[in-house]
Amino acid sequence: MNLFSSASEKPDLDKINQIKTWTYAHLQLTRETPISVSQLRCSEPGCPPLETVIAVMTNPVQKFKIHKSVAAIEAIDITQNLSPAD
């Protein structure tokens, strides 16, 4: 049983790029570090309808979840939900 699926509505590419820009700045990453931004729909009880997962391809990979759609994310969400690796 798959509790997560891709959201049926595709997130705006410009907004995804803005989230990546905020992430690079907040985590003080170089542009050589790949970042993945995915919007997922959760069908599990108590789970938010949409959440955004940001994966920073460091070693080890850092994954961050924000319980909002891509469209609803603002810069403050990045600073409040993403902690730089020690």
| 32: CATH | 3.30.160
The number of domains in the chain is: 1
Decide if 47 is inside a domain: yes
Q: Whats the size of the chain, residue-wise?
A: 86
Decide if 27 is inside a domain: yes
Q: What is the pLDDT of residues 35-53, one digit of tens each?
A: 999 999 977 788 788 999 9
pLDDT, greater one: 5 or 17? 17
Cα separation, 81 vs 67, in Å, equals 10
Q: What is the span of the domain harbouring residue 28?
A: 4-81
pLDDT at 86 over 70: no
Total-model pTM: 0.83
Decide if 21 is inside a domain: yes
> Is residue 63 a contact partner of residue 53, using CB atoms and an 8 Å limit?
yes
Give me the pLDDT at residue 1, please.
42
Q: What is the pLDDT of residues 58-67, one digit of tens each?
A: 999 999 999 9
pLDDT at 7 over 50: no
